[in-house]
Amino acid sequence: MTKKAKSIKAFDGQRDGEELLFVFRRHIIAMRKGFYLLLVPMTIGALPYLIWQDNLNLLWVFLGSFVFGLVLFGYHFLMWFYTYYIVTNQRLRQTTQHGFLVRM
């Protein structure tokens, strides 16, 4: 009488006989587009206050552009954070989150 060993799957879509070697994500510098999308609105939003320094209401323009830049940066950060690579003895697999609820 032989017993079949149940193979424990480390990730969805793992093939029979496939062994997980390691999991990694891209380096943080690969997210430089997100950093630029934070820096550019902040710079543009600071220009009116730097030109007309006596008007303190222009700081609201900077604050609004900063929040807008944070939203853009946050999107790119989440896309970077939820994209990772799985290396096995048979293949390299990329797993990416599409939206907030769907993982591909």
Q: What is the pLDDT of residues 18-35, one digit of tens each?
A: 888 999 999 989 889 999
- Residue 14 within a domain: no
pLDDT of the residue at 1: 47
**Domain carrying residue 93:** 30-103
- Note the helical H segments in 14-58: 32-51
pLDDT of the residue at 38: 94
- Residue 50 within a domain: yes
Summarised one tens digit per residue, pLDDT across range 40-93 is 999 999 999 999 999 999 999 999 999 999 999 999 998 898 889 999 999 989
The residue among 81, 86, 82 whose CA lies nearest residue 9 is: 86
How many domains does the chain fold into? Answer: 1
- Residue 93 within a domain: yes
pLDDT of the residue at 4: 54
- Residue 11 within a domain: no
- Residue 5 within a domain: no
Contact 72, 40 (CB under 8 A): no
- Residue 24 within a domain: no
Q: Give the sign of the dihedral formed by CA 38, CA 39, CA 40, CA 42.
A: positive
- Residue 4 within a domain: no
